[in-house]
Structure 1
Amino acid sequence: MADDQTMSLMQCYLASILEANKVTNLTRITDGEQARLLHIEDSLVGLPEVNEAPDGLYGDLGSGGGFPGVPLALATGRTTLLVDSVKKKMAIVQSVLDDLLLSEQISTSSERIEDLPLEYKEKFAVLTARALSKLVSLIELASPLLKKGGRLVCYKAQLSSEELDEALAVQDLVGMRMISQREICLSDGETMRTIVVFEKVGKSRIKLPRRIGLAQKQPLRPRN
């Protein structure tokens, strides 16, 4: 887990985000204790899986107010890209990073995920996604961005067997393979998280990325 100095920096970041949230909607959580639980503690749940990924660039997809990306970046020391298509959110996050002198390590992008491979094709060692989309969509979006052996670490509040089966049915198609699944309860004793990890094992057998929005609107299905 992160040391005291790193935890203090995470708290400073969170406080700045909660302050900015009074003007612009970055997070629905406004209570300080809840924010620490759901933005810092929850972000760090996936730290073991992120640490197990190869060395290299880390990207947080659908980062919103910078969670879990900023806590994980600070805990791991990885060069990090926070990705969210809502430009206003990313502008505020970037401003907070600048103020805390973190922008050399952590940068932001408001590109759509499908457009990222133009600049970052197979560049990431590890990606995270929290409350972003179904697994079947996430492995499709992550595949062109991950280098071989790179990991996608997905945070799920509730994971149905149907959602998992949909992803497993097409993982070969997109060159991904599920390697682990772990459940954990946060310190409040009631908030459950499931961490699911996929590894990039080979080339996709279809051309990726598809057009913007198709991963969610028309999820891939196994070929006969």
Structure 2
Amino acid sequence: MTSSECRDLTHQYLDAILEVNKTTNLTRIASQTEAEILHIEDSLAGLPEIEAAPEGLYGDLGSGGGFPGVPLALATGRMTVLIDSVKKKMALVSGVLDELGLSDQISTYDGRIEELALDRPGSFSVLTARALSRLVSLLELASPLLSKGGQLICYKAHVDDEELEEARAVENLVGMRLVSRRELVLSDGETERSILVFEKVGCGKVKLPRRVGMAQKNPLKPRS
């Protein structure tokens, strides 16, 4: 696929999602101009990181309306799974993918991340998570899905020292390690993004996944 074809398909996907959004809430962003920045530009902000990640299957955690998953899938050509527990959203996204002829490359999973980790442990080379949860929870959720050397790419609006320290304190427990962090501002001049990359370096010291919801309700803490 040429870069112009990729760009056209990405915009066709966005237009289709915004059309669906008129009757079903897939995204809080309804303005075309705002969506271009906060869905397409923001999704592609992590493109350098995903291109540098190991080759293989890509999964987008908490994908919602398919962002950043679909733009990144189209830009990289990776086989992709959009993962979200809201079945209605995933059904609508799946319908749009079918209409655009993208279903052979991009599939959907309408269940909990922990359930997918039981079904497909170690299956993914790279995962993204955009504004989904605290870093400590994301590390726990991502670790059992990733193959060794696989990477989790987190998009965050703001990461304070406490959140980062909380995540780094459990890296050994979950077999993950922070390998890069990049800050940027989108073209609106005001939307700040931190792109953090964690790599799966080993098996960790706790059995994962834990029960559904535990990563958020009772985040891991370092052992004394």
Superposition TM-score tier, normalisation by shorter sequence = over 0.9
What residue is the counterpart of 1:54 in the other structure?
A: 54
Deviation, structure 1 residue 8: 0.8
- Whether the aligned pair in 1 keeps the contact of 2:58 and 2:127 (CA below 8 Å) is yes
Partner of 2:203, secondary structure, is coil
- Superposed CA RMSD in Å reads 0.7
Residue by residue over 1:114-157, the C-alpha shift from the partner in whole angstroms, topping out at 9 and shown as x without a partner, is: 00122210010000000100000000000000000000000000
Q: How does 1:1-224 map to 2 (within 5 A)?
A: 3-224=3-224
Which whole-Å deviations, capped at 9, do the CAs of 1:52-74 have from their partners, x for residues lacking one? 11000000000000000000000
Q: Residue 172 of structure 1: SS of its match in structure 2?
A: helix
Between 39-48 and 114-123, the greater mean CA deviation after superposition? 114-123
The CA deviation string for residues 65-100 of structure 1, in whole angstroms up to 9 with x for no partner, is 000000000000000000000000000000000000
Task: Report how far residue 27 of structure 1 moved.
Answer: 0.2
How far is the alpha carbon of 1:23 from its aligned partner?
0.8
Residue type of the partner of 2:11?
Answer: Q
- CA–CA separation in structure 2 for the residues paired with 1:64 and 1:117: 19
State, as a whole percentage, how many aligned pairs show the same letter: 66
Q: For residue 111 of structure 1, report the CA deviation from its aligned partner.
A: 1.2
Aligned equivalents of 2:160 and 2:33: distance in 1?
Answer: 29
* Unmatched tracts of structure 2, length 5 or more: none
Cα distance, 1:211 vs. partner?
A: 0.5
1:217 is displaced (CA, Å) by: 0.6
TM-score (norm 1): 0.98
Q: Which runs of 4+ in 1 moved over 3 A?
A: none
The DSSP-based 3-state class of the residue aligned with 2:41 is helix
- Contact persistence 2:183–2:194 (CA under 8 A): yes
Q: Secondary structure at the match of 1:82?
A: strand
1:158-186 residue CA offsets vs partner (Å, 9 max, x unmatched): 11110000000001110000000000010
